[in-house]
Amino acid sequence: METTELKPVLDPEFQPAALARRDFERRIAGHSEPIRIAIEQGNGSTYVFERAIARDTSSAATALNLRFLEREVKFMLWAVGGFRLHIDAPELLVGMLRDYVYRYSPSCLFDMEVMGPIIYGRPFEIRHACGGSFPTASHVTMPLGRHTGGCRVAIDEGASDIKAYAEQDGQMTYAAEFKWDPKPNSDPAYHYEHIMHGLRAAASTLPRVDAIGVSTAGVCVANEMRIASLFRGVPRHLFQSDIVPMYHRIQAEFGGVPFVVANDGSVSALAGSMSLNRNRVLGLAFGSSLAAGYVDATGNITTWLDELAFVPVDVNPRAPADEWSGDRGCGAQYLSQQAVNRLLGPAGIEVPMDMGVPERLEHVQALMREGDPRAERIYQTIGAYFGYALAHYTNYYDIGTVLVMGRVTTGVGGEIILKVANEVLSREFPDLAIDVRLPDEASRRVGQAAAAASLPRIEAA
């Protein structure tokens, strides 16, 4: 694989997926064959990708092709989402992926369960398809937010705090943060009461509540959670009985006003699109995990999941494992508070064992304000991760602007992340034209909550 010109200073073993892919394409140049991959969602959307693999059928070439195909599928499952894959490629290769990799790999079994029964309510399938059996691309897009007027309340749910927000006729009346610790809590009442506390606090500043918007991590369908790391501690039967319908219950508590729940990544992209008045925006939130969302060239979101926390950006076989899926090199370990926590040791920063991850980030931020070079190296490392990750994302997304938000980007550290990421892009990928931006400090803190407030449409009286 290519040698990285700008290695992350605290992670010399990092092997960027962007360079691995470029290396693969160069190795097969002149002796490649095209393949097609379609991912079906069952709601009218089927997305088709055209790729190339080595034409050679030797065992070494087959192993190389299989690894490339497996990583491609991994990206598509979590960025795009779908319960059925149609692959127009050599039947032996498709069979190895379906009958070996996806039968025995724990991380692939995790993906099959999530993408099949949990999100789409159907068994997960991989099909060999060619000719007339290969599906036609069909895309659905959806307008998102940008509604104004009235008395609006919103919350942005993170893994360490809830940001609450209220506005009346476009004028902010409330913005605050409330600490919570949702992941280990198994009682649905804990989650319900904390969310309601934020909403009630914001609503108390308004003469009435006309609409409510919620930005939250995870996959949400029709205002119902399908899967979310915030509620991982809740037993499955209680998740189904209490968490899935929770937002319907909250809506009823507020008199049935217009109510919209959206993925926090989509809301971050909406916030960027609204603030910059641009489309083709990839919004990223470096928080407790990595949230992502995308606004297309028409100003709409697609039916993509945009769960880039699960998408590998590092192909090093010894890369850190994702705490949930078990796969290695996934985005959450590189572009979130988890990355800061993981880099404390290599940076030589010691913290108490019982200190929480959010507090560890605050400690690093305090060191950064004091000019501590150890903290600076953490941000430099995350910046290098970010630059290579962005280059990898462009193989799937049409990106004009990237807006980066979240606690990790707060303060001087965020500026360092941006500077190093831009250096990676300009040196390693000079043909890419991406405008990478940080919002102002106020937007970093409440930007997503403010954008969430615009989600519901208030019907005219």
Query: CATH number for the domain including 312?
Result: 3.30.420.40
At 43 the pLDDT is: 76
Task: Report residue 444 as tokens.
Answer: 């970093």
68-97 in b/e form (b: 16+ CB < 10 A) is bbebbbbbbbbbbbbbbbbbbbbeebbebb
Of the candidates 439, 444, 452, the one whose C-alpha atom is nearest the C-alpha of residue 156 is: 452
Residue 426 lies in a domain: yes
Which one-letter DSSP state was computed for residue 407?
Answer: G
Instruction: Give the residue numbers spanning the domain of 349.
Output: 267-449
At 1 the pLDDT is: 47
Q: How far apart are CA 82 and CA 119, in angstroms?
A: 9
Backbone angles phi, psi at 293, to 5 degrees: -155, 165
Residue 24 lies in a domain: no
Of the candidates 37, 46, 77, 124, the one whose C-alpha atom is nearest the C-alpha of residue 302 is: 46
Residue with tokens 């609503």: 203
Residue 336 lies in a domain: yes
Residue 272 lies in a domain: yes
Judge if 192 and 56 occupy the same domain. Answer: no
Backbone angles phi, psi at 4, to 5 degrees: -70, 130
Judge if 342 and 274 occupy the same domain. Answer: yes
Residue 314 lies in a domain: yes
Q: How far apart are CA 12 and CA 378, in angstroms?
A: 13
Start-end of H helices in 334-440: 337-347, 357-369, 373-393, 412-428
Final residue before a domain boundary, out of 139, 170, 201: 139
Contact (Cβ atoms closer than 8 angstroms) between residue 411 and residue 369: yes
Judge if 45 and 121 occupy the same domain. Answer: yes
Final residue before a domain boundary, out of 139, 163, 189: 139
Judge if 76 and 162 occupy the same domain. Answer: no
Judge if 124 and 43 occupy the same domain. Answer: yes
Total domains in the fold of the chain: 3
Judge if 164 and 126 occupy the same domain. Answer: no
At 445 the pLDDT is: 54
Judge if 218 and 200 occupy the same domain. Answer: yes
At 461 the pLDDT is: 56
Judge if 326 and 383 occupy the same domain. Answer: yes
Residue with tokens 């994302």: 393
Residue 316 lies in a domain: yes
pLDDT tens for each residue of the chain, 461 residues long: 454 557 899 999 999 999 999 999 999 999 999 999 999 997 778 999 999 999 998 999 999 999 999 999 999 999 999 999 999 999 999 999 999 999 999 999 999 999 999 888 899 999 999 877 899 999 877 777 788 899 999 999 987 889 999 999 999 999 999 999 898 899 999 999 999 999 999 999 999 999 999 998 888 878 989 888 889 899 989 999 999 999 999 999 999 999 999 888 888 888 878 878 889 999 998 988 898 999 988 888 788 899 999 999 999 999 999 988 889 999 999 999 999 999 999 999 999 999 989 899 999 999 999 999 999 999 999 999 999 999 999 999 999 999 898 889 988 999 999 999 999 999 999 999 999 988 765 555 556 788 899 999 887 65
Cβ contacts of residue 10 below 8 Å, gap of 6+?
A: 343, 346, 347, 377, 378, 380, 381
CA dihedral 212, 213, 214, 218 (to 10 degrees): 130
130-159 in b/e form (b: 16+ CB < 10 A) is eeeebbeeeeebeebbebeebbbbbbbbbb
Residue 10 lies in a domain: no
Contact (Cβ atoms closer than 8 angstroms) between residue 306 and residue 266: yes
Judge if 257 and 201 occupy the same domain. Answer: yes
Residue with tokens 């598509």: 76
424-443 in b/e form (b: 16+ CB < 10 A) is bbeebbeeeebebbbbeeeb
Task: Report residue 192 as tokens.
Answer: 């319900």
Judge if 330 and 393 occupy the same domain. Answer: yes
Taking the CB of residue 30, how many other CB atoms lie within 10 A of it?
7
Judge if 127 and 175 occupy the same domain. Answer: no
Reduced DSSP (H G I as helix, E B as strand, rest coil) percent helix, strand, coil of the chain, to 5: 40, 20, 35
Final residue before a domain boundary, out of 105, 139, 173: 139
Judge if 98 and 238 occupy the same domain. Answer: no
Cβ contacts of residue 225 below 8 Å, gap of 6+?
A: 216, 218, 219, 231, 239, 243, 244, 246, 247, 261
Q: How far apart are CA 265 and CA 406, in angstroms?
A: 11
Residue 225 lies in a domain: yes
Task: Report residue 252 as tokens.
Answer: 């009823």
